[in-house]
Protein backbone atom coordinates (compact mmCIF):
# COMPACT_ATOMS: atom_id res chain seq x y z
CA UNK A 1 0.00 0.00 0.00
CA UNK A 2 2.82 2.40 0.86
CA UNK A 3 4.44 1.77 -2.53
CA UNK A 4 1.17 2.56 -4.28
CA UNK A 5 0.81 5.82 -2.33
CA UNK A 6 4.38 6.75 -3.19
CA UNK A 7 3.77 6.12 -6.87
CA UNK A 8 0.61 8.23 -6.77
CA UNK A 9 2.46 11.12 -5.11
CA UNK A 10 5.29 10.92 -7.61
CA UNK A 11 2.82 10.84 -10.49
CA UNK A 12 1.07 13.92 -9.14
CA UNK A 13 4.35 15.78 -8.72
CA UNK A 14 5.40 14.81 -12.24
CA UNK A 15 2.10 15.97 -13.68
CA UNK A 16 2.41 19.27 -11.87
CA UNK A 17 6.02 20.04 -12.72
CA UNK A 18 6.17 18.74 -16.28
CA UNK A 19 3.37 20.83 -17.80
CA UNK A 20 4.38 24.31 -16.62
CA UNK A 21 5.30 26.92 -19.21
CA UNK A 22 7.64 29.66 -18.01
CA UNK A 23 8.77 32.94 -19.55
CA UNK A 24 11.69 34.98 -18.23
CA UNK A 25 12.53 38.44 -19.49
CA UNK A 26 16.27 38.59 -20.29
CA UNK A 27 16.73 41.10 -17.46
CA UNK A 28 14.27 39.46 -15.03
CA UNK A 29 16.83 38.55 -12.38
CA UNK A 30 18.60 41.91 -12.63
CA UNK A 31 15.37 43.87 -12.34
CA UNK A 32 14.06 41.65 -9.53
CA UNK A 33 17.25 42.16 -7.53
CA UNK A 34 16.43 45.88 -7.32
CA UNK A 35 12.94 45.28 -5.91
CA UNK A 36 12.21 45.80 -2.23
CA UNK A 37 8.42 45.48 -2.00
CA UNK A 38 5.92 43.67 -4.23
CA UNK A 39 2.13 43.36 -4.07
CA UNK A 40 -0.34 40.66 -5.03
CA UNK A 41 -3.23 41.91 -7.13
CA UNK A 42 -6.66 40.29 -6.61
CA UNK A 43 -6.60 37.29 -8.97
CA UNK A 44 -9.04 37.16 -11.87
CA UNK A 45 -11.20 34.05 -11.46
CA UNK A 46 -13.49 32.43 -14.01
CA UNK A 47 -15.73 29.44 -13.30
CA UNK A 48 -17.09 27.48 -16.27
CA UNK A 49 -20.56 26.06 -15.61
CA UNK A 50 -22.08 23.40 -17.85
CA UNK A 51 -25.56 24.73 -17.20
CA UNK A 52 -26.95 28.21 -16.77
CA UNK A 53 -26.61 29.60 -13.24
CA UNK A 54 -27.57 32.93 -11.70
CA UNK A 55 -25.18 35.57 -13.05
CA UNK A 56 -25.05 37.60 -9.85
CA UNK A 57 -24.43 34.51 -7.72
CA UNK A 58 -21.67 33.43 -10.08
CA UNK A 59 -20.04 36.88 -9.94
CA UNK A 60 -20.18 36.84 -6.16
CA UNK A 61 -18.64 33.38 -6.06
CA UNK A 62 -15.83 34.44 -8.40
CA UNK A 63 -15.11 37.41 -6.14
CA UNK A 64 -15.05 35.09 -3.13
CA UNK A 65 -12.61 32.73 -4.83
CA UNK A 66 -10.44 35.71 -5.86
CA UNK A 67 -10.19 36.89 -2.25
CA UNK A 68 -9.38 33.36 -1.07
CA UNK A 69 -6.64 32.89 -3.67
CA UNK A 70 -5.11 36.30 -2.95
CA UNK A 71 -4.94 35.62 0.78
CA UNK A 72 -3.50 32.13 0.26
CA UNK A 73 -0.82 33.45 -2.12
CA UNK A 74 0.12 36.17 0.38
CA UNK A 75 0.31 33.69 3.27
CA UNK A 76 2.45 31.35 1.21
CA UNK A 77 4.94 34.04 0.16
CA UNK A 78 5.00 35.47 3.69
CA UNK A 79 6.01 32.07 5.06
CA UNK A 80 8.78 31.80 2.48
CA UNK A 81 9.96 35.29 3.41
CA UNK A 82 10.13 34.29 7.09
CA UNK A 83 12.13 31.23 6.03
CA UNK A 84 14.53 33.49 4.07
CA UNK A 85 13.65 31.65 0.87
CA UNK A 86 12.63 34.81 -0.98
CA UNK A 87 14.39 38.15 -0.57
CA UNK A 88 11.58 40.61 -1.31
CA UNK A 89 8.95 42.05 1.05
CA UNK A 90 5.28 41.39 0.25
CA UNK A 91 2.68 44.07 0.90
CA UNK A 92 -0.18 43.02 3.20
CA UNK A 93 -3.27 42.24 1.11
CA UNK A 94 -5.51 44.34 3.35
CA UNK A 95 -3.34 47.35 2.58
CA UNK A 96 -3.27 46.43 -1.10
CA UNK A 97 -7.03 46.12 -1.37
CA UNK A 98 -7.71 49.28 0.65
CA UNK A 99 -5.53 51.33 -1.69
CA UNK A 100 -7.08 49.71 -4.76
CA UNK A 101 -10.58 50.35 -3.43
CA UNK A 102 -9.73 54.01 -2.88
CA UNK A 103 -8.41 54.25 -6.45
CA UNK A 104 -11.62 52.77 -7.87
CA UNK A 105 -9.98 49.53 -8.97
CA UNK A 106 -13.00 47.44 -7.97
CA UNK A 107 -15.46 49.75 -9.78
CA UNK A 108 -14.75 48.35 -13.24
CA UNK A 109 -12.03 50.93 -13.68
CA UNK A 110 -9.36 49.29 -15.90
CA UNK A 111 -5.80 49.93 -14.74
CA UNK A 112 -2.50 48.77 -16.18
CA UNK A 113 -0.06 46.83 -13.95
CA UNK A 114 2.19 49.88 -13.97
CA UNK A 115 -0.65 52.14 -12.80
CA UNK A 116 -1.51 49.67 -10.04
CA UNK A 117 2.13 49.61 -8.90
CA UNK A 118 2.11 53.39 -8.57
CA UNK A 119 -1.17 53.37 -6.62
CA UNK A 120 0.23 50.74 -4.26
CA UNK A 121 3.72 52.24 -4.01
CA UNK A 122 5.47 48.96 -4.84
CA UNK A 123 8.30 47.91 -7.11
CA UNK A 124 6.43 45.11 -8.83
CA UNK A 125 3.00 43.52 -9.07
CA UNK A 126 2.08 39.83 -9.08
CA UNK A 127 -1.03 39.24 -11.18
CA UNK A 128 -2.80 35.92 -11.70
CA UNK A 129 -5.68 34.26 -13.51
CA UNK A 130 -7.47 31.15 -12.25
CA UNK A 131 -9.76 29.34 -14.70
CA UNK A 132 -11.83 26.77 -12.78
CA UNK A 133 -14.28 24.16 -13.98
CA UNK A 134 -16.16 24.29 -10.67
CA UNK A 135 -16.11 26.29 -7.39
CA UNK A 136 -13.43 25.41 -4.86
CA UNK A 137 -14.73 26.92 -1.63
CA UNK A 138 -16.92 24.89 0.72
CA UNK A 139 -20.62 25.35 0.13
CA UNK A 140 -20.13 27.16 -3.18
CA UNK A 141 -22.37 24.83 -5.15
CA UNK A 142 -25.11 25.20 -2.55
CA UNK A 143 -24.76 28.99 -2.57
CA UNK A 144 -25.21 28.98 -6.34
CA UNK A 145 -28.20 26.68 -6.20
CA UNK A 146 -26.37 24.16 -8.35
CA UNK A 147 -27.64 20.64 -9.02
CA UNK A 148 -25.50 17.55 -9.55
CA UNK A 149 -23.99 17.52 -13.03
CA UNK A 150 -23.50 21.24 -13.50
CA UNK A 151 -19.81 20.75 -12.87
CA UNK A 152 -17.66 17.72 -13.56
CA UNK A 153 -16.40 15.34 -10.90
CA UNK A 154 -12.90 16.81 -11.06
CA UNK A 155 -11.66 20.36 -11.02
CA UNK A 156 -9.44 21.21 -13.96
CA UNK A 157 -7.65 24.45 -13.15
CA UNK A 158 -5.52 26.60 -15.43
CA UNK A 159 -3.40 29.16 -13.60
CA UNK A 160 -1.35 31.99 -15.05
CA UNK A 161 0.92 34.11 -12.84
CA UNK A 162 2.91 37.16 -13.94
CA UNK A 163 5.34 39.62 -12.40
CA UNK A 164 5.22 43.17 -13.75
CA UNK A 165 8.07 45.60 -13.10
CA UNK A 166 7.06 49.16 -12.15
CA UNK A 167 10.13 51.16 -13.14
CA UNK A 168 10.66 49.41 -16.48
CA UNK A 169 6.90 49.05 -17.14
CA UNK A 170 7.34 45.54 -18.49
CA UNK A 171 6.55 41.89 -17.93
CA UNK A 172 9.42 40.13 -16.16
CA UNK A 173 8.05 36.64 -15.61
CA UNK A 174 5.13 34.48 -16.70
CA UNK A 175 4.15 31.07 -15.32
CA UNK A 176 1.35 29.03 -16.85
CA UNK A 177 0.18 25.66 -15.61
CA UNK A 178 -2.82 23.35 -15.81
CA UNK A 179 -3.74 21.11 -12.88
CA UNK A 180 -6.16 18.20 -13.32
CA UNK A 181 -7.87 15.76 -11.01
CA UNK A 182 -8.28 16.07 -7.26
CA UNK A 183 -5.22 18.31 -6.82
CA UNK A 184 -6.37 21.77 -5.73
CA UNK A 185 -9.72 20.77 -4.21
CA UNK A 186 -9.56 23.89 -2.02
CA UNK A 187 -7.95 27.31 -2.56
CA UNK A 188 -5.33 26.51 0.09
CA UNK A 189 -4.30 23.19 -1.43
CA UNK A 190 -4.28 24.57 -4.97
CA UNK A 191 -2.09 27.54 -4.02
CA UNK A 192 0.22 25.28 -2.03
CA UNK A 193 0.74 23.02 -5.04
CA UNK A 194 1.06 25.96 -7.41
CA UNK A 195 3.44 28.07 -5.34
CA UNK A 196 5.62 25.18 -4.25
CA UNK A 197 6.59 24.70 -7.87
CA UNK A 198 6.30 28.24 -9.20
CA UNK A 199 8.23 29.94 -6.38
CA UNK A 200 11.37 27.97 -7.21
CA UNK A 201 11.28 29.56 -10.64
CA UNK A 202 10.46 33.08 -9.50
CA UNK A 203 13.25 35.65 -9.84
CA UNK A 204 12.81 36.39 -6.10
CA UNK A 205 13.87 32.94 -4.99
CA UNK A 206 17.03 32.79 -2.83
CA UNK A 207 19.52 30.52 -4.58
Question: What confidence tier does 197 reach under pLDDT thresholds 50, 70, 90?
Answer: confident
User: What pLDDT score does 207 carry?
Assistant: 77
0.95 exceeded by pTM: no
Q: Give residue-wise pLDDT tens across range 143-179.
A: 555 544 555 556 778 999 999 999 999 999 999 998 8
Q: Give residue-wise pLDDT tens across range 23-64.
A: 999 999 999 999 999 999 999 999 887 677 788 888 888 999
Domains of the chain: 20-201 (3.40.50.10610)
Q: Is the dihedral of CA 187, 121, 86, 170 positive or negative?
A: positive
φ, ψ of residue 160 to 5 degrees: the values are: -125, 125
Whether 114 has a pLDDT exceeding 90, the answer reads yes
Q: How far apart are CA 101 and CA 141, in angstroms?
A: 28
Q: Which uninterrupted H or E stretch holds 18?
A: helix 2-18
- Enumerate residues 6+ apart whose C-beta is below 8 A from 184: 136, 155, 157, 190, 193, 194
Nearest to 41 by CA among 140, 112, 131: 112
Strand partners of residue 116: none
Confirm if 174 and 139 have CB atoms less than 8 A apart: no
Amino acid sequence: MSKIKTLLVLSTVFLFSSCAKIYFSPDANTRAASHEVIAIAPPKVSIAARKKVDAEAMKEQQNTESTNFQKEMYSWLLRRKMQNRIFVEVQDVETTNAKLRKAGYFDDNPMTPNEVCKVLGVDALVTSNYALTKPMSDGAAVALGVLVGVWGATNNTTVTMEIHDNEASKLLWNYNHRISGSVGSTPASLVDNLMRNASKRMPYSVR
